[in-house]
């Protein structure tokens, strides 16, 4: 394996001094803010000859054939309620200066940063005031779809199924990607039928989503963080609170309609028949029932939409999933059960960053129209990305800066 390929595949961590930052993009959601930015360093340009006079974030190989950029795509997330942490992070790393310095909109003399999600509207003034930047708003659904398509086409080992506790990465045939159903489980849930690049329809949604799990879970268990709630759910037993088919049928299956005795007949249903109070239940059992109820419900609604539109593949994204085995298992089982094995639930490694990545790639869309650039800027849209094996969204700490090594071919 040659050195460059070795780097692309992430087997050797480049000794990393930050190079130039380019193109910061934000997705400011109801619960979390997602940040994506790209950095290059000399080390990342390992086997290309760089035009030293260019001194820009994109180098042009001396051969002149293909401009190539190598560097790292960084991911970070913050709680929206702690938006000041995010502003400080951007300011301390000077992320807001990297992208637009040479892409300054001279006509309007504005420093524009691509941003999506409701917070791009809600917090526009705050960003202007604190960082002196203007948020260039991109539509949230456009960005989710662009981000999902980008990941599915460009990132090796991005989509996987989760069956029986095993992840299986899917080989995505780019010529056979569409149509699919994208289910983004954020605070709320959006279900989008995707037919191509920029071709989609938001066909459904539900207000019972990640925010419901976190909000209701916090009230019911008094836990202090989302991770604590997940931790609790791991240790819990939902059968203590959920009413199972067997509880109703004296331990028997109801096989005539395909229900086993262990199927949940009614989430939280036992709380009534047991005459117990909240204090009588362990927080971990409550957390487990809640996670199961919400994951199951989303899996079922997703399946119904897939059925209605004749879609066989359902990709789940959004930070509710967090790569959590129990969540993915429940969703997978729900889709499998209701579709009688016809439809498949798939998950994305960069699950929570779809919108932010979509905003990021949107720099390419209107760079010629909107931006006056002093130097040639190409945006990595036709990138060949390979994820850093050290990047594990599941282990990602909220304020940790994660990244993946990538190479960009702007052919």
Ligand X SMILES: CC(C)(CO)[C@@H](O)C(=O)NCCC(=O)O
Contact residues toward ligand ATP (CB under 6 A) are 29-32, 79, 117-118, 186-188, 210-211, 213-214, 226, 318-320, 322, 352, 398
CA 317 to chain centroid: 5
Binding-site partner at residue 210 among ligand ATP, ligand X, none, CB < 5 to 8 Å by type: ligand ATP
Which distant-in-sequence residues (6+ apart) come within 8 Å of 371 by Cβ?
103, 104, 105, 112, 377
Structure-derived torsion over alpha carbons of residues 205, 207, 211, 217, reported in degrees to the nearest 10: -130
The tokens for 80 are 């929206």
Binding-site partner at residue 269 among ligand ATP, ligand X, none, CB < 5 to 8 Å by type: none
Q: Which C-beta is closer to ligand ATP: that of 208 or that of 259?
A: 208
Binding-site partner at residue 39 among ligand X, ligand ATP, none, CB < 5 to 8 Å by type: none
- Does residue 189 touch ligand X according to CB under 6 A? yes
Binding-site partner at residue 207 among ligand X, ligand ATP, none, CB < 5 to 8 Å by type: ligand X
Least distance in angstroms from the C-beta of 330 to ligand ATP:
14
- Does residue 205 touch ligand X according to CB under 6 A? yes
Which distant-in-sequence residues (6+ apart) come within 8 Å of 162 by Cβ?
168, 325, 328, 329, 332, 345, 347
- Does residue 190 touch ligand X according to CB under 6 A? yes
Binding-site partner at residue 322 among ligand ATP, ligand X, none, CB < 5 to 8 Å by type: ligand ATP
Measured CA to CA, the distance from residue 182 to residue 178 in angstroms comes to 11
The tokens for 46 are 């390992």
- Does residue 297 touch ligand X according to CB under 6 A? no
- Does residue 53 touch ligand X according to CB under 6 A? no
In DSSP terms, 189 is beta-bridged to 185, 206
* Contact of 23 with 136, CB cutoff 8 Å: no
Choices 54-62, 182-190, 271-279, 381-389 (CB under 6 A): range interacting with ligand X = 182-190
Least distance in angstroms from the C-beta of 188 to ligand X:
2
Least distance in angstroms from the C-beta of 29 to ligand X:
6
CA 263 to chain centroid: 30
The tokens for 304 are 């119904």
Residue, CB closest to ligand ATP: 29
Q: Which of residues 108-167 bind ligand X (CB under 6 A)?
A: 118, 140
The tokens for 71 are 């560097």
**Peptide bond connecting 351 to the previous residue in cis, omega within 30 degrees of 0:** no
- Does residue 236 touch ligand X according to CB under 6 A? no
Least distance in angstroms from the C-beta of 161 to ligand ATP:
20
* Contact of 270 with 264, CB cutoff 8 Å: no
Instruction: Pinpoint the alpha helices (H) of 155-256.
Output: 210-221, 226-235, 245-248
- Does residue 317 touch ligand X according to CB under 6 A? no
Least distance in angstroms from the C-beta of 160 to ligand X:
24
Q: Which C-beta is closer to ligand ATP: that of 66 or that of 81?
A: 81
Residue 35: phi and psi, rounded to 5, are -125, 130
Q: Which of residues 207-226 bind ligand X (CB under 6 A)?
A: 207
Q: Are strands 134-137 and 112-116 parallel, antiparallel or unpaired?
A: parallel
Q: Which residues bind ligand X (CB under 6 A)?
A: 29-30, 118, 140, 186-190, 205-207
């Amino acid at each position: 394996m040659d050195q460059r390929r070795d780097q692309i595949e992430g087997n050797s961590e480049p000794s990393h001094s930050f190079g130039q930052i380019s193109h910061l993009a934000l997705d400011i959601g109801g619960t979390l803010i997602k940040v994506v930015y790209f950095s290059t360093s000399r080390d990342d340009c390992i086997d290309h000859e760089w035009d030293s006079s260019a001194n820009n974030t994109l180098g042009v190989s001396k051969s002149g054939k293909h401009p190539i950029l190598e560097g790292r795509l960084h991911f970070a997330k913050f709680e929206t309620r702690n938006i000041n942490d995010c502003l400080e992070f951007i300011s301390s790393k000077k992320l807001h200066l990297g992208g637009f310095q040479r892409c300054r909109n001279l006509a309007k003399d504005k420093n524009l940063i691509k941003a999506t999600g409701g917070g791009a509207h809600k917090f526009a003034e705050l960003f202007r005031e604190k960082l002196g930047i203007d948020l260039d708003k991109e539509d949230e659904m456009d960005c989710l779809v662009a981000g999902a398509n980008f990941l599915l086409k460009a990132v090796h080992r991005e989509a996987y199924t989760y069956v029986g506790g095993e992840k299986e990465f899917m080989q995505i045939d780019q010529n056979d990607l569409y149509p699919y159903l994208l289910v983004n489980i954020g605070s709320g849930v959006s279900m989008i039928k995707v037919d191509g690049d920029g071709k989609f329809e938001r066909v459904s949604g539900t207000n019972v989503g990640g925010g419901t799990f976190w909000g209701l879970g916090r009230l019911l268990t008094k836990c202090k963080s989302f991770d604590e709630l997940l931790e609790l759910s791991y240790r819990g037993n939902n059968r203590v609170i959920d009413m199972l088919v067997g509880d109703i049928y004296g331990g028997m299956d109801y096989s005539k309609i395909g229900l086993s005795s262990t199927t949940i007949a009614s989430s939280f249903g036992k709380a009534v028949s047991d005459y117990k109070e909240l204090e009588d239940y362990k927080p971990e059992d409550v957390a487990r029932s809640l996670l199961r109820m919400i994951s199951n419900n989303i899996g079922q609604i997703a399946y119904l939409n897939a059925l209605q539109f004749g879609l066989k593949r359902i990709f789940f994204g959004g930070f509710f999933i967090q790569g959590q085995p129990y969540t993915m298992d429940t969703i997978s089982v729900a889709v499998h059960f209701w579709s009688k094995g016809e439809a498949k639930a798939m998950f994305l490694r960069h699950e929570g960053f779809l919108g932010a990545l979509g905003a990021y790639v949107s720099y390419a869309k209107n760079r010629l129209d909107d931006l006056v650039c002093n130097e040639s800027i190409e945006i990595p849209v036709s990138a060949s990305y390979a994820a850093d094996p050290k990047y594990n969204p599941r282990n990602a700490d909220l304020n940790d800066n994660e990244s993946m090594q990538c190479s960009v071919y702007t052919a």
